[in-house]
Structure 1
Amino acid sequence: MTRPPTAAQRRVIDTADPVTGRLKGTETQLAALVGRGLAFRHPRPPHDHFLTPAGHRIREQTTVTPEPVGDTPTATGVFTARVGGEEEIPDAGPSRVREVHSAWQGLLELRRMTNPDGATDRPCGWERTHLVQAAALALEAAGHHPAGQDTEGYRVRATPQPEAVAVRGPDGETLRACAATLERAGWQAGEHTDPRTRARYLLASPRRA
C-alpha cells in the first residue's frame, strides 16, 4: 500500500466489527480495500469481507472515536475484553453480559469463516495476533471474573514466549477452572511455578490441531 486509505475507506475500516473485523460498505469501497490489501472477501457464502492483518493495524491506529451504540457500556462503543487488574471495571450487569456474549459469538463466526476447515473449536489467526484479548474474552464469556483493584479474579498477561499468555489467579481452584475453560475454547493450558515468587500460574497457547 503506497497511499493511505481515503476518508470514506477509513470510515469503513473504523466501523469494522472490533472482534471479527467484518466490514460493511458499498461494493466499490470493499473492492478498493481488497485491492489495497486491507481486506479480503471470504470464499464461502455469504462472501463477507474482513480486515486483513494490515487492515487491523490501520484500524488500531485510528484517531476517530466511534459513537456509542445502544446501551454499550464503554465510552467509545468498542468492545474490550477484561484482562484483569483494570483500574476501573465498568458495570458487569446485563448489558455487559450481552456484549460479551455477542463478542464471543462473533469470534466463533470468525473462526468458522477464516479457519481453512471451518472449525469453530480451534483459535483463528486473529486470536494468534491478539493473544491476551482472545484468552480474556474466552474466560469472561464462560463466566469467570477478572481481578479488580480490590477484588480477586483472573489476570491475563503477555509473555516473552511466542503464542503464549500467562493467566494468574488467587488460588489453585481458580487456575484449574480457567485451564478447563481455555481448553474447551481450543487452547492448551498447563500450570507452572514462577521461579522467583513460587506462585502458580497458567501458560496458555492456541491449539493448532
Structure 2
Amino acid sequence: MDRTPTAAQRRLIAAADPVTGRLRGAAARLAALGRLGLAFRHPRPPHDWFLTPAGRRWTLPQEPAPAPAAAPAPPAAVFAARIGGDAPDRGGARRAREVASAWTGLLELRRMTRADGATDRPCAWERAHLVPAAALALEAAGCVPETGEGPGYRVVASAQPEAVGVHAADPAGLRSCAAALEGAGWQVSEHTEPRSGGRRHLLASPRRG
C-alpha cells in the first residue's frame, strides 16, 4: 500500500495538535489516514483521532520532491527505526528530530491506549512490532546502531515469545543498551552465547503490569 498522504491529508496532519497529535477533520479523511497507518482512533469516547509515530513523521519538514523522471518516483518513506546493520546515518540533525518526534508520538500512543494513561510501559503496538519498537527505544536514548563504518547495537528477532535479542560489540555497549531499554519500560536479561566463545547478548521484552 502506498503510505504517502495526499496534499489534503498532509494539511490535516500539519494542523494536528503539536503535543498530543490530536486530529480534527472530516470523518472520511481521518479514516483514510487510519488506513494508511498514520492515525488511530482512540477506543474510549469521544473516540478522537490521533497521529501514530508514522503520522508524526509527516509533521517534519519534507525534502523537496525530485525532478520529474521517465519513471514515477517511489513514494517518500515513512520513519523507520534503525535496528543495526543499516547504512551509515547521514541524516545528522534531521535524523535526530525524526527520532525525537517518533519517540514522542510513541509515548503519546502509550498514554492514549492505556486506561491509566501511563507512559512507562510499552503498549500493544510495541508488543506487535518488537524489533522496531526496541530499536526506537535504543536510538531515542542515544545508543548508536551498528553500521558498515563502526560497531553499535543490533536488534534481532528471538525464538523467545514476546522478546527480542540485542547484540553489542562490547560489554559497555551492552550495558548501555540494557539501561536504555529498562528506562523505556522493557524487561532485560543478559545471556551467554555458548557457540560464539562466550559472547554476551540481551533478551528484552515489553514490561507488563
- TM-score, normalised with respect to structure 2: 0.71
Q: In the superposition, relative to structure 1, how do residues 44 and 171 fare at CA in structure 2: closer, same or farther (>3 Å)?
A: farther
- Which residue matches 2:126? 127
- Which residue matches 1:144? 143
Q: In the superposition, relative to structure 1, how do residues 24 and 207 fare at CA in structure 2: closer, same or farther (>3 Å)?
A: same
Aligned 8 A contact 2:22 2:48 in 1: no
Q: In the superposition, relative to structure 1, how do residues 27 and 202 fare at CA in structure 2: closer, same or farther (>3 Å)?
A: same
Q: In the superposition, relative to structure 1, how do residues 28 and 204 fare at CA in structure 2: closer, same or farther (>3 Å)?
A: same
- Please state how far the C-alpha of 1:22 moved relative to its aligned partner: 7.8
Rounded to whole Å, the distance in 1 between the matches of 2:82 and 2:51 is: 24
Counterpart AA for 1:48: W
Rounded to whole Å, the distance in 1 between the matches of 2:93 and 2:45 is: 34
- Which residue matches 1:107? 106
- Secondary structure of 1:196 counterpart: helix
Q: In the superposition, relative to structure 1, how do residues 81 and 90 fare at CA in structure 2: closer, same or farther (>3 Å)?
A: same
Aligned 8 A contact 1:42 1:49 in 2: no
Q: Which runs of 5+ in 1 are unaligned?
A: 1-7, 57-65
**Residues 1:70 and 2:62 aligned together:** yes
- Secondary structure of 1:189 counterpart: strand
Q: Trace 1:76-95 onto structure 2 (pairs within 5 A).
A: 76-86=76-86, 88-95=87-94
The ranges of structure 1 where at least 4 consecutive aligned residues each deviate by more than 3 angstroms after the TM superposition are 21-25, 28-34, 38-42
Rounded to whole Å, the distance in 1 between the matches of 2:189 and 2:119 is: 22
Rounded to whole Å, the distance in 2 between the matches of 1:23 and 1:77 is: 22
* Pairwise CA RMSD: 3.6
- Which residue matches 1:175? 174
- Which residue matches 2:204? 204
- Please state how far the C-alpha of 1:177 moved relative to its aligned partner: 1.1
Aligned 8 A contact 1:138 1:182 in 2: yes
Counterpart AA for 2:128: T
Rounded to whole Å, the distance in 2 between the matches of 1:193 and 1:183 is: 19
- Please state how far the C-alpha of 1:196 moved relative to its aligned partner: 1.2
Q: In the superposition, relative to structure 1, how do residues 30 and 194 fare at CA in structure 2: closer, same or farther (>3 Å)?
A: same
Q: In the superposition, relative to structure 1, how do residues 40 and 195 fare at CA in structure 2: closer, same or farther (>3 Å)?
A: same
Rounded to whole Å, the distance in 1 between the matches of 2:123 and 2:22 is: 14
- Which residue matches 1:189? 188
- Secondary structure of 2:194 counterpart: coil
- Which residue matches 1:47? 48
Rounded to whole Å, the distance in 2 between the matches of 1:49 and 1:189 is: 30
Q: In the superposition, relative to structure 1, how do residues 29 and 83 fare at CA in structure 2: closer, same or farther (>3 Å)?
A: same
- Which residue matches 2:116? 117
Measured against aligned partners, the alpha-carbon deviations of 1:22-52 in whole angstroms (never above 9, x if no partner) come to 8775213446999xxx96444266822578x
Rounded to whole Å, the distance in 2 between the matches of 1:33 and 1:184 is: 31
Total equivalences in the alignment: 178
- Which residue matches 1:4? none
- Secondary structure of 1:203 counterpart: strand
Q: In the superposition, relative to structure 1, how do residues 22 and 203 fare at CA in structure 2: closer, same or farther (>3 Å)?
A: farther
